[in-house]
Amino acid sequence: PPGLEDMTSQLKSMFSNMNTGRKRSRRLTVKAALKVLKDEEAAKLINEDEIKNRAIEAAEQTGIVFIDEIDKVTNQHDAGSASVSREGVQRDLLPLIEGSTVSTKYGSIKTDHIL
């Protein structure tokens, strides 16, 4: 689902710059140092696999698909070469609508309960 990729990329970008593996010295107030320490420790607690599994489960159980390509699902014979593109969109959307298992880069998602 589109939201899954966005959520994962946002989490990665949010925590990627926290700990680069090298140590550096800097002067901070105690208040600022506590915030940096809290952020670094929070980054250590995040388990990407668990986030992916929870996101897949949420998509399977409470997912809603917004079909903004609905005009391309219909087969218009007067469109010429655009029908190839429309057929591809139709081929990709119908399994979602019918309720099947869709393969994503994060794993398989069952679309039985996706509206």
Predicted local confidence at residue 67, as pLDDT? 62
Q: Which residues, 6+ apart, have CB-to-CB distance to 113 below 8 Å?
A: 60, 61, 62, 63
Q: What is the pLDDT along the chain (115 residues), one digit of tens a residue?
A: 555 666 666 667 666 656 566 677 888 899 999 999 998 888 888 888 888 888 888 877 887 766 665 555 555 555 555 555 666 766 777 776 777 787 777 788 787 776 6
**Rounded to an integer, what distance in angstroms lies between the CA atom of residue 83 and that of residue 71?**
11
- The answer to whether the CB of 96 falls within 8 A of the CB of 65 is yes
Token pair for residue 114?
Answer: 């996706």
Q: In the chain, what's the furthest Cα-to-Cα distance?
A: 70
**Rounded to an integer, what distance in angstroms lies between the CA atom of residue 80 and that of residue 77?**
7
Predicted local confidence at residue 7, as pLDDT? 67
Residue 51 in any domain: the answer is yes
Q: What would the pLDDT profile of 19-34 be if each residue is shown by its tens digit?
A: 566 677 888 899 999 9
The DSSP output letter for 39 is: H
Predicted local confidence at residue 102, as pLDDT? 77
Q: What would the pLDDT profile of 95-105 be if each residue is shown by its tens digit?
A: 767 777 877 77
Of 114, 112, 109, 105, the residue nearest 8 (C-alpha): 105
**Rounded to an integer, what distance in angstroms lies between the CA atom of residue 99 and that of residue 61?**
12
| Domain count within the chain | 1
The boundaries of the domain holding residue 59 are 2-110
Residue 115 in any domain: the answer is no
Residue 81 in any domain: the answer is yes
Residue 26 in any domain: the answer is yes
